Every structure is written in C-alpha cells, then in structure tokens.
Amino acid sequence: MDIKKVVIIGSGTMGSGIAAHLCNANVPVTLLDLTTDISTKAREKILKSRPPLLIDKSKIDNIKVGNINDDFDVVKEADWIVEAVVERIDIKHNIYKKIFEFRKQGAIVSSNTSSIPIKVLSEKLADEEKKDFCITHFFNPVRYMGLLEIVKNENNDLDKINSLKIFCERELGKGAIICNDTPGFLGNRIGVFAMQVAMTEAFKLKLSIEEADAVFGRPMGIPKTGVFGLYDLIGIDLMSDVLKSFVKELSKNDPFQNVAKEIPLVTKLIQTGYTGRKGKGGFYRMNKENNQKILEAINLETGKYFPTKKIDLGIDTVNLNLLINRKDKYGEYAWSVISKIIKYASSLVPDITNRFNDIDEAMRLGFNWAMGPFEMLKSIGVKNFFGRIENFENNNFLKNLEKTKNENFYGERQLYTSIETLGKIKPKAIKLDKNKSADIYRFKDFNIVEFTTKACALDYDSMDALKNATDKPLIIINESMQFSAGVNLTYTMNFADKGDFKSIEKFIKYFQDTCKHLKYSDHPVISAPSGLVLGGGEEVAIQSNFVVSHTNIVMGLVETGVGLVPAGGGCKEVLHRWSQTKEAKNDPDYAPLKVFNIIGYATTATSTVEAEPLKFLRPEDKKVMNRNSLFEVSKKLIQEQSNFKPPEECKFNLTGKVVKEKMIKILEKLYNDKVIFDHGFEVGKELANVLSGGDTTVDKVLNDDDMYKLELESFMKLIQTKKTQDRIKHTLATGKPLVN
C-alpha cells in the first residue's frame, strides 16, 4: 500500500503536529477543521512552535488547509485519513460517517484517540469499513516523540496494518508498535500507572516532591522531570481527565483503580488554576520576589510552597540495586515503586500484548525511560527480585518465572522492528573495553563506541575510549537520548577550583589529539548523532570522516555562552569548511568573518536542514528520519569503505591583523549597543584571535596543528578568568547562560 496523500481532520495540538511531521517526511497533507480560519491559524502556530515541529520551515506551504464543509472532497484522493478531533465519541462518529462516504476504496482511516477503544469508535461502521479502520496513537510533540501505537482488533486487515506500520517506521521515523485494543494501550497504561504509584507512594512515605523526583528520575533511568515535574509538564488538569477515563474503562478490580483515586491536594491545585507549567504553576512554581525568580516546591502535607531543596542521592548512573538496597526512605520508596510497576506490567501479559518486550520499548519510546519494567526486573536479577517480592497472585508471568528462576528470561530486544538497531546489536557484540565514561564494542570487523555519562558529557575517559577504538573502522553512536552535550563542565571546573590549570590543558590537548586522530587515522570513523550535539560533541562529530545524523538534532558550537572558545578543533574545522567556498576563494576574510558570527553568537541548528547552511553538516552527510536506523545506515557506509583514504590535512591562508581588526569593529558595535558586556568583548577578542590565524599574514600557510594551538591558547586564557568561571558555575547551577 502506497501512502502518497494524507488528510487530517482536526487541526489542534495533535492534528497540526501530525501534519507538520508528514510535511517533514515530504508527504502532501491537508488539514481540515470546522473552519478554514481555525486550520489556517493552526498552520501559523506550527511555524512558531518551540521546539520547532517542522524540520524545514520553508516547506510550510506543503501543508494545505481547509474546512470540513467546503473542502471535504480532498478525502476522495487520500490514501490515509487521520481523525484528530476532540475526544468526543458523538463528534468522532459523525466524522467517520462522512469520511467513509467520501474515501476511496481501501484508504486507511485512523483515529488519534488516547482513550476510546476501537470497538466503540467503529461500532457504527460496516464490516468492510472496519477492516480499514484502526487507531494511530501519536504522542505530543509528534516530531520528537519516538512512539507510535497502532491499535488493531480482530476486524482488521492485518496486511494493511502492517504496511501502515512500515510506512510510519520508514517514512515518518516512528517506533511503531502494534498493540491490542485495551484501555490506554501500552505506553499510557504502564506510564500513567507508574506516575500514579510514584505519586501515591510519595504521599504514603512522606517524601517531599523533590525527594520523590530525585529517586523516580535519573537513578531509575527515568527523565529528570521525575513524577511531579512531569505532572506539571503534562498539565495537572489533563492528567486528571486521563485518570477519570482509566477509572471508567478499567475493571473494578484492576490495581490501577487503587492509585487513580482523587487526591484532595491535586483537586485543589486544579480548582485554583495551578494546572502546571501552562497555568500559575503546579507542584513546582516560579515565584518572583524582589525581582528574583525562585523555584518553589509544594509541601504535600500543608499545600504551602517553599524554595526547592536540591537532593543529592550520590548516584550518578542508573543502578537499581544500589537504589533499592539503601537502608533509608529513598531505598524503601524506590523498591516500593519499582516492584509495583513490575508487578502491574507483568500482570497485563498477554492481555495488552503477548510480547512483554513491547511494553519495555513503549516505555523507552513514549516516556524516554532508559529501561522498561521487564528490563528493570532483569537488572535487579530474578533471584534477587523473588527474594524480596511478597504476593503476586493472579500473575501468571511472575508465577512461571518464579518456577524457572531463569535469569536469562529476557531474550532479544526491540522485537517490534526489523531494523538492525544498536539496541539489538549490543548484546551480540563483544565488549572490548569500558571505562567510567564510555563502552567499546567490537561487532563484525568494526568497533562501536557508546558514551555512557550523563547527557554523554565528554571527559578524558571519553577521549581515551575513542582513541583506543580506532584500530578498526569505528562508529560513535549512543542509545541514550543525546549524542553529547559537550565537554563535562563539572569535570573542568573541579580542576579550575583547585587552580589545577595544567590538568585542564592536558585534557584539552588530549581532546585535540583524539579528534585529529579520528579524522586522519587509517580507518573510517563515523559519528551517528541524535539529540544534543553541542560544543565538544559537535567537534567529535565534524572531525569524524562521515556523519549519519538523525534529523532531530540540536547542533552548535556554544562555548562562547560559557565564556570559552571551541578548542577541540571546532573553530578550525568549521573555518576550513567555509574556506572551501567560492566566496572564500575571492576574499580571504570571507570565511573567518562568517565563522566569527556563527560561533560568536553560539548559533545552534535544530535540525539537519538548519545544520547544513552553517556547514556543521555537509551535503554528503546522511540524514535519517528514524533514529533506530542510525546504526544500520552507518554499518552500510562502513561496508562501502574498502578503499578508504583519510582526508588531506587542512591548510589556511589567513590575514591575521587585517581580519582581526574587522572583527574587533564588530565587537565594538555590539558593545556600544549593549548586546555584549565586558567579558563578552574579551571572549570575542579571543575568538577573533583564533579565527584570524593570530600573528600571521595571508601568504603564510597554517595547518591543523597551528589552529589547534591557537584554540588551546585562547581557551586556557579564558578558563583562568573569574568571569568565565562565573559563567560556567551559573550555567551548571541554572542551565542558563550568564551575560557578564
């Protein structure tokens, strides 16, 4: 089945998100709503969305708009019609009646409903019509959320469902999981249950919301928003509606009912407009006092707000056993929450799916968990788990596992896709080495390096792993969300605080040596980024021989924001790329001035399409819609490199003082216009020094090493200033830049 044209009915949050994403995949799409005015406004909103829903904003006109009265004829041409109107069954039924009158024979019709079963949605359809009707449950924001649940029932034409799945996987880049028609499907059934358990147990064990979020967060492999932060993000009122729908749909003896009871504090928050981030605040709120913003957290017992307290559990990586074995309230909370999630998820097999593995993958893709409930069980260890768990009646999965005590019960991962993913390969590959920041694997005749630190921040060990892995062709790729958020600033500041600048210099030098080695070693090196590719992360990527990039990346050399200059070859490499342009051949100052602007403003690209004009990516670099495919595409690229030769060294003819003066003039104007302040000026001067070639003239040829040396000198000068250190500390504490 070919999907060449799509019509979406309902242009709200989800309809416009799905339309934008089809546009990202170059599929012509029409958005219909009650009036053309509504759908036109929805299209305008797409352009303003943050994070941006479109990969390439110039394509917006590929989304056509109209209304359901005058423009319904477009349905006749569509291969797939998606209904994304308000969650009201009467409205949805009326729309299906009209769609099935107009649609061409065989066209797929799907609903984006999050809570109404197919059985109910399709109750008025003829049998022939039911064959082509299913639920396609996208998550918000559609471009960024990996999970798509395709819900089928016994009436469906399974070949058609499968071809829709392949289309959504290959063209839209989604992790498409087919599941049964049960309330909340996979992701929300387990995800919302987990949130409710995390919340009710926090009340029961008298944890503060910061404490609960610190445990039900990074140490459990769950995003740092935890449970209360996530509640605020989703909307406390929306969560309440979701719960009501679960209470209504699920049987009275489903354990979900116990954790979905109304909580007086939550009801009060909703009634007083504290609906979360979109409202006046929620469990957390930003309070302004004396012109200062203070993040406050609610006290679950009194309902009063207090400034948030940072909770340090002293656990940096995901380690369930460390967490549940603690002899304090955090350990008790962690075990209570994790064991209940495992018990609930396993009790639903095979009803909601006969492959437990799909539940784990739905949690990864839909909630960004590092592992799902069954991987949690595996990680705790079967014997260990049964040594602690109390009752699990009516749970056949656990009863069987208790009998076999099979520690290797898990089997293969990511069964829902036929793509050869990194997740599938890792268990089959040989783990050659690991250190505290990276793992090195050997698969077939190439190596894989995966960064393992928080946000994959880079330190000496990350570089060591890269350097040691170049004895074979190398793919640098991660399963976690980010490729790398850049050099580990905490690691760097620890040295700076002790005045140990020698160690910083040694690290940066090693960073440079490693990146140079990646680029010029005898074996091809491929970086396969997704998520954040910032600072040092971008330097690793652009000094690899090839890049296979997910289309959703945030890429930029952002060092100036923390009062530094890129010093791992970032200035050099981007400058070299700009030096190869036609304009640069006629004007030696063209490239340095361009790059001065790009790096000076810490310009970031939010997609591959934005990265290319900045020359962070090259036309020949591969851009991939499905994150799952990064490994497969990289592997194929390696196999094509039997005649690989490393590139020639970079050469630069820079005008030194001449272009530096032009850059200083730009800085002076920015300073006078109060766009930058004293330290911004200093950082700008150092960047100017690097990009102008320092003390040189246009007839002299500079090479990679000369440029690395300039980068290092400027970096070392800046890191020793108090104002750069202030900027770094501020960013580490708040996540925001300090302008000084």
Choose one: 4-12, 99-107, 275-283, 354-362; the region binding ligand NAI (CB under 6 A). Answer: 4-12
187: nearest Cα among 237, 135, 232 = 135
CB 596 within 8 A of CB 687: yes
350's tokens: 């095979």
Q: Which is nearer to ligand NAI, 85 or 567 (CB)?
A: 85
* Amino acid at site 375: E
Among residues 81 and 591, whose Cβ is nearest to ligand NAI?
81
Smallest gap from Cβ 84 to ligand NAI, in A, equals: 4
The least distance separating ligand NAI from the CB of residue 3, rounded to whole angstroms, comes to 20
Judged by CB under 6 A, the number of residues near ligand NAI is 22
Does position 464 bind ligand NAI by CB under 6 A?
no
Q: Which is nearer to ligand NAI, 86 or 430 (CB)?
A: 86
Question: Are 718 and 565 spatial neighbours (Cβ–Cβ below 8 Å)?
Answer: yes
60 near ligand NAI, rule: CB under 6 A: no
Q: Where are the alpha helices (DSSP H) in 580-677?
A: 582-586, 590-600, 608-611, 630-639, 657-672
CB distance 157 to 220 below 8 Å: no
Window 131-190: residues binding ligand NAI (CB under 6 A): 139-140
Closer residue to ligand NAI (CB): 142 or 419? 142
Q: Which of 3, 6, 8, 11 touches ligand NAI (CB under 6 A)?
A: 11
Could you say which of 20, 21, 23, 33 contacts ligand NAI (CB under 6 A)? 33
**Is 69 among the residues that bind ligand NAI (CB under 6 A)?**
no
> Among residues 177 and 617, whose Cβ is nearest to ligand NAI?
177
By CB under 6 A, residue 221 contacts ligand NAI: no
What are the residue ranges of helices labelled H in 290-438? 320-324, 329-347, 356-367, 373-380, 382-388, 396-404, 422-425
Q: Which of residues 90-109 bind ligand NAI (CB under 6 A)?
A: 91, 95
Round to whole Å and give the CA distance between 31 and 39.
6
Q: Which stretches within 381-457 are classed as H helix? A: 382-388, 396-404, 422-425
Minimum CB distance to ligand NAI, residue 149 (Å): 10
The b-or-e profile of 184-200 (16+ CB within 10 A means b, else e) is bbbbbbbbbbbbbbbbb
Q: Which two tokens stand for residue 465?
A: 């792993």
**Interaction of residue 38 with ligand NAI, rule CB under 6 A:** yes
Smaller CB separation from ligand NAI, 110 or 462: 110
Considering only the stretches 7-15, 126-134, 432-440, 474-482, report the one whose residues sit in contact with ligand NAI under the rule CB under 6 A.
7-15
Of 91 and 733, which CB lies nearer to ligand NAI in the complex structure?
91
- According to the 3-state scheme, what is the secondary structure of 507-554? HHHHHHHHHHHHHHCCCCEEEECCEEEECHHHHHHHCCCEEEEECCEE
Return the DSSP state at 276: B
Among 6, 63, 84, 599, binds ligand NAI (CB under 6 A): 84
Question: Least distance (Å) from ligand NAI to the CB of residue 80?
Answer: 16
68 binds ligand NAI (CB under 6 A): yes
Nearest to 631 by CA among 705, 530, 486: 530
Of residues 379, 369, 441, the one with CA closest to residue 410: 379
Residue nearest to ligand NAI according to CB distances in the complex: 12
Q: CB neighbours (10 Å) of residue 684?
A: 23
How far apart are alpha carbons 347 and 731 in whole angstroms? 44
User: Collapsing DSSP states into helix, strand and coil, what is residue 637?
Assistant: helix
Beta carbon nearer to ligand NAI, 68 or 342: 68
* Pairing relationship of beta strands 305-307 and 292-298 according to DSSP bridges: antiparallel
Is residue 249 within the footprint of ligand NAI (CB under 6 A)? no
Can you tell me which of 6, 9, 150, 477 binds ligand NAI, judged by CB under 6 A?
9
The binder of ligand NAI chosen from 71, 77, 87, 249 (CB under 6 A): 87
Only segment of 8-16, 338-346, 490-498, 722-730 that touches ligand NAI (CB under 6 A): 8-16
- In angstroms, what is the minimal distance from the CB of 87 to ligand NAI? 4
* Residue 12 binds ligand NAI, judged by CB under 6 A: yes
Q: Applying CB under 6 A, which of residues 6, 15, 134, 667 lies at the interface with ligand NAI?
A: 15
Task: Using the rule CB under 6 A, give the single segment among 31-39, 242-250, 272-280, 434-442 that binds ligand NAI.
Answer: 31-39
Nearest CA-CA partner of 466 in 532, 535, 537, 559 = 537
123 Cα distance to chain centroid: 38
Range 386-395, long-range pairs (CB < 8 A, 24+ positions)? 388/324, 388/335, 388/339, 389/339, 389/343, 392/343, 392/347, 394/347, 395/343, 395/346, 395/347
User: Contact region for ligand NAI (CB under 6 A) — 6-14, 19-27, 273-281, 338-346?
Assistant: 6-14
CB-wise, 13 or 163, nearer to ligand NAI?
A: 13
Is 15 or 372 the residue whose CB approaches ligand NAI more closely? 15
Note the residues at the interface with ligand NAI (CB under 6 A).
Answer: 9-15, 33-34, 38, 68, 84-87, 91, 95, 112-114, 139-140
